[in-house]
Amino acid sequence: MNVMPASNASPVAPVRRLRRLALPLLALLAVGVIAYFLWPRFFGQPDLRAQYLFATVQRGDVEDVVTAIGTLQPRDYVDVGAQVSGQLNHIHVEVGDEVKTGDLLAEIDPTVAQSRVEASRAQLRNQRAQLMARESDLLLAESQLRRQQNLMAEDATTAEALQNAEAAVRSAKAQIEALKAQIEQSESNLREDEANLNYTRIEAPMAGTVVSIAARQGQTLNAAQQAPTILRIADLSTMTVQTQVSEADVSRLTPGMEVYFTTLGDQTRRWYGKLRKIEPTPEVVNNVVLYNALFDIPNPRRTLMTQMTAQVYFVVAKAEDALVIPMAAVTMQSSRRPRPDGSAPRNTDSSPRPRTGDIAPNDRNGTPDRASGEQAESAPDARTRPGNGERPPRRGTVKLLLPDGNIEERSVGIGVTNRVQAQVLEGLEEGVEVVTGQRRANNGGGNAQARPGGTPPRIPR
């Protein structure tokens, strides 16, 4: 009988033992992996940064502005026209030329005006000669009157002859007075004709730049009914911005307030000025009531030109180097006072208000589409503090991220606001983070997006 050696034993038994050990190990590993991913979700601290959008409180400038579209015009300009009719013989300037007061701009054919002046002068000379003849007749009539008076004293003439002599004197004086009146009228006509002759030479009434020429050399001008415009002179050293403001915003404007604008050619440069006046008569365009607001801008380098379009910003209130947070992070508190009977005032606004603890809706970039709730009127002074009879700051609530990872609701004082930012007067420090929106998973389940609208769920506290 042959016996097999021990080294040639079958390896099936150790493999079976390894299999029996691997199955529990794999099951334990699967349980560990599942517990690793599910434990934070059901029993661990939630990751708030994956659920909400945050913004850091930082220092910056915030402005509450009224925007409008304006057009640039020269503050001082004049339309130079023709006061006499005739053919335009010469135009001595071109568009863009600088002129001074009294410079010759154009000439009209002076033939007709010159002939009228010469006729008036001839008529005046004729009347003066007639006056000399009437003065001689007066001297003769006075001499005859004295002779008749002497003869009457000696009773050597009749009363009728004396009366005729007296009538002759009075008639000569009357004719002299009539001729003097005619001479005055002729002198007046001569001055008018000479003025019309001078008007054939059109001179600059003010210093400035020729910005347009409406007539052409050789054109016949008819000034019988209205003065035809030949050219326009404007002083481009100071421009006026004419802005049309809607009736909803015009009540927020006051003369003297700061205003700036940008042009389409250079939207990075701001031109600053002061509101000069608001014209009381509105202009109705497509059933929209618009009021003209005017302010002046120095233009020493002639950078600004006529008819440029300006995007105008009227600064109602502003704060510089202030603590600033996004408006989406703020829920404004009602500033209405309680009724005398102690009951709360009724909310007459039918629009939905954000509840305490809710996050204002915002867009995908975390920037609010509109300020949450109705935007209250901004404080005129960005540094207003309660006390000394001054107006206290408006109140609002924000959601603050604490160092331990929790969320805390805090009341803060709000100063200048606009649709994007709000100034924090009290209640927050620079560098802390506040909640600005709610994140949600997109259809792919990978990226987080801001909630587009509606009422988001409350933030856990």
pLDDT, one tens digit per residue, over 294-310 is 999 999 999 999 999 99
Q: How far is residue 25's CA from residue 22's CA, in Å, rounded to a whole number?
A: 5
**205-224 tens-digit pLDDT:** 999 999 999 999 999 998 88
Q: How far is residue 417's CA from residue 423's CA, in Å, rounded to a whole number?
A: 6
333: nearest Cα among 311, 356, 309, 315? 356
Q: How far is residue 329's CA from residue 334's CA, in Å, rounded to a whole number?
A: 16
Q: How far is residue 243's CA from residue 239's CA, in Å, rounded to a whole number?
A: 13
**129-172 tens-digit pLDDT:** 999 999 999 999 999 999 999 998 888 888 999 999 999 999 99
Task: Name the band, by pLDDT with cuts 50, 70 and 90, for residue 36.
Answer: confident
**Rounded alpha-carbon distances, angstroms, from residue 67 to 80, 180, 316:** 36, 69, 10
| pLDDT for the residue 226 | 77
C-beta separation of 89 from 216 below 8 A: no
**How does the average pLDDT of the chain come out, rounded?**
81
How many of the other CB atoms lie within 10 Å of CB of 445?
6
Residue 355 φ/ψ, nearest 5 degrees? -80, 165
**Over 80: is that where the pLDDT of 243 sits?**
yes
Task: Name the band, by pLDDT with cuts 50, 70 and 90, for residue 356.
Answer: very low
Query: Among 19-23, 283-287, 335-339, which is the least confidently predicted range?
Result: 335-339
Pairing of strands 331-332, 288-298: unpaired
Task: Name the band, by pLDDT with cuts 50, 70 and 90, for residue 456.
Answer: very low
421: nearest Cα among 381, 349, 366? 366
| pLDDT for the residue 225 | 74
**43-64 tens-digit pLDDT:** 555 567 777 888 999 999 999 9
**Over 50: is that where the pLDDT of 16 sits?**
yes
422: nearest Cα among 318, 321, 325, 328? 325
Q: How far is residue 297's CA from residue 309's CA, in Å, rounded to a whole number?
A: 14
